[in-house]
Chain A
């Protein structure tokens, strides 16, 4: 798939556009915000459908449980805030949303180092690790505007709790606007050999950059559904390459890489390298600067690819 040169947009904008369209397509769709209406791009829906928009104030716990009540009455609530603040309502997410299998869509913008200048307090780097252990919850991290739009629509059609992990930064488009989003399916971005690289979110840009100019083509998978994982696609690729690198804008602990490692350690043990934030808080800076400093940039990824490719002892089978 070639990168389409479109105007750069963010995944949160894709969500905002999808929510607006859903307002027309499904009268049961409602939206909630914990004050961050514009930052989460829920403002377009709020302006067009004010009676179906519920402002919850700076009170995330109440937003999530109100959303539960709305969902239990047949509404399809999208509750959005920043990733770091969503976790304030973890108990509500665990019991009211997940245990009840309430049809609530949790939307977190401002995830990852991609959040940038706001600094460590606002960069959600732990959300997937925390939420991945909750039963009944689907976790999706789209890589670009188009995919965020399609994933939001897919989340609305899905019966049950969904967590959408979104981002503030604008990035290049990889996916086609007409492409259907299927929950639980990974996408083959580049067919290749020797190494499988798995990623989700806009950090995919760095992966693609890292693979440019190599003497071989690594196989690149975009894995927007972190839970449930596309076991089949990942296993098939790992069986071909025997070496896997996972790149995530998240703490190494608990993210997509952990999910991949859990799968492979059981079904097809092979070498797995997880590139992510190494158990630290970050700081203010531009997303690209932060990726560089914290070891997630194309340069670091390329270095890891080269090291792995020159065959530092492979797992014997």
Chain B
């Protein structure tokens, strides 16, 4: 487990470099969401989650459901860096025969927990997993990463209701509140706010954080773990495309990949950031 924030920041930098390389090689995929969630996934895999890369089905592991499956490149990159599979496999993303399917396929790659990507289903599966854990009096937590856009789906709200009904205090939903979805900004597509109030009125405990600040991410999860009978929602405010200046906050980068010259520019920026991080004391 990486303790220092600097190490976590360096890991994020590595993963952003991996993402640009993977997505450019694939020629299709979702860079903005993946880059935006990088810090959350680094915090999860390298600090928060109880997991064992050598034993992905370890019974006592924390479960991590990725509901907005289209950002799976960031999960693949985090898993490879955590030792689940060789990093050389990352560039097979979306290629014929690869275990790294365009959207997560749990039967292809151990450790994914759920084949997902039709939005509005993951949180409800996480509710079912948390119910099973409660029934069996198990200690692990069930984390779900979901997108703001998939809160358009009525089924997401069915799951939010269910988690409250069953007092699932070991269910933590981390929302990627990056304000974009495929066709535009979330506030233009479908009204979502006040998201915090909505969750609270559905009986959840809500914690708001900057989704790029490791101290905030880690302390939010620690606070969440103190919940007695409420499910917990962590609204993580995130910059989509984080780390690549020309992708940041642009919904046009939701579902298209960089051309080689754009990738070069992006990798240069990521390299500069690495230098800056290494010089930081």
- Say yes or no: A95-B155 contact (C-beta < 8 A), given A66-B127, A69-B131, A74-B132: no
Do the beta carbons of A59 and B118 come within 8 Å of each other? no
B124 CB–A CB distance under 8 Å: yes
A62-99 residues with Cβ-Cβ distance < 8 A to B are 62, 65-75, 77, 91-92, 94-96, 99
Do the beta carbons of A69 and B107 come within 8 Å of each other? no
- Say yes or no: A95-B125 contact (C-beta < 8 A), given A52-B135, A54-B131: no
B248 CB–A CB distance under 8 Å: no
B72 smallest CB distance to A (angstroms):
14
CB-CB nearest in chain A for B117: A95
* Besides the known contacts A65-B125, A92-B124, A99-B105, 15 further A-B residue pairs in the complex with CB atoms under 8 A apart: A52-B135, A59-B155, A59-B161, A59-B162, A61-B120, A62-B159, A65-B127, A65-B128, A65-B159, A66-B159, A68-B124, A71-B128, A74-B132, A75-B132, A95-B118
- Say yes or no: A69-B132 contact (C-beta < 8 A), given A100-B114, A101-B107: yes
Q: How large is the interface on A (under 10, 10 to 19, 20 to 34, 35 or more residues)?
A: 20 to 34
A212 CB–B CB distance under 8 Å: no
Q: Which of A65, A77, A101 has the most CB of B within 10 A?
A: A65
Do the beta carbons of B128 and A92 come within 8 Å of each other? no
Do the beta carbons of A62 and B133 come within 8 Å of each other? no
B226-248 residues with Cβ-Cβ distance < 8 A to A are none
CB-CB nearest in chain B for A65: B124
B270 smallest CB distance to A (angstroms):
34
Residues of B within 8 A of A67 (CB): 128
B125-141 residues with Cβ-Cβ distance < 8 A to A are 125-133, 135-136
Q: What are some 5 contacts across the A-B interface (CB < 8 A)?
A: A61-B154, A66-B124, A66-B162, A71-B128, A95-B115
Do the beta carbons of B162 and A91 come within 8 Å of each other? no
A5 CB–B CB distance under 8 Å: no
Do the beta carbons of B131 and A92 come within 8 Å of each other? no
B221 smallest CB distance to A (angstroms):
21
A312 CB–B CB distance under 8 Å: no
- Say yes or no: A95-B124 contact (C-beta < 8 A), given A56-B162, A61-B155, A69-B130: no
Q: Binary interface profile of A, 202-234, with partner B (CB < 8 Å = 1, else 0)? A: 000000000000000000000000000000000
Residues of A within 8 A of B128 (CB): 65-73, 77
B149-173 residues with Cβ-Cβ distance < 8 A to A are 154-155, 158-159, 161-162, 166
Residues of B within 8 A of A72 (CB): 113-114, 125, 128-129
Do the beta carbons of B106 and A70 come within 8 Å of each other? no
CB-CB nearest in chain B for A32: B128
Q: Which of A61, A69, A95 has the most CB of B within 10 A?
A: A69
B249 CB–A CB distance under 8 Å: no
B13 CB–A CB distance under 8 Å: no
Residues of A within 8 A of B257 (CB): none
A103 smallest CB distance to B (angstroms):
12
Residues of A within 8 A of B105 (CB): 99
Interface residue tally for chain B (C-beta within 8 Å): 30
Do the beta carbons of A59 and B158 come within 8 Å of each other? yes
Residues of B within 8 A of A99 (CB): 105, 115
B116 CB–A CB distance under 8 Å: yes
A1-52 residues with Cβ-Cβ distance < 8 A to B are 30, 51-52
Residues of B within 8 A of A100 (CB): 106-107, 114-115
Do the beta carbons of B116 and A95 come within 8 Å of each other? yes
Do the beta carbons of B114 and A70 come within 8 Å of each other? no
Do the beta carbons of B158 and A62 come within 8 Å of each other? yes
- Say yes or no: A69-B135 contact (C-beta < 8 A), given A61-B158, A95-B117, A101-B107: no
Do the beta carbons of A51 and B162 come within 8 Å of each other? no
Do the beta carbons of B115 and A65 come within 8 Å of each other? no
Q: Which of A52, A75, A94 has the most CB of B within 10 A?
A: A75
- Say yes or no: A62-B155 contact (C-beta < 8 A), given A95-B117, A99-B115, A100-B114: yes
B121 CB–A CB distance under 8 Å: yes
Residues of A within 8 A of B106 (CB): 100
Q: How far, in angstroms, from A240 to B226 measured CA to CA in the complex? A: 71
Contact among B115, B121, B161 for A57, CB-based, below 8 A: B161
Residues of B within 8 A of A95 (CB): 115-118, 121
Residues of A within 8 A of B127 (CB): 62, 65-66, 69
Residues of B within 8 A of A54 (CB): 131, 166
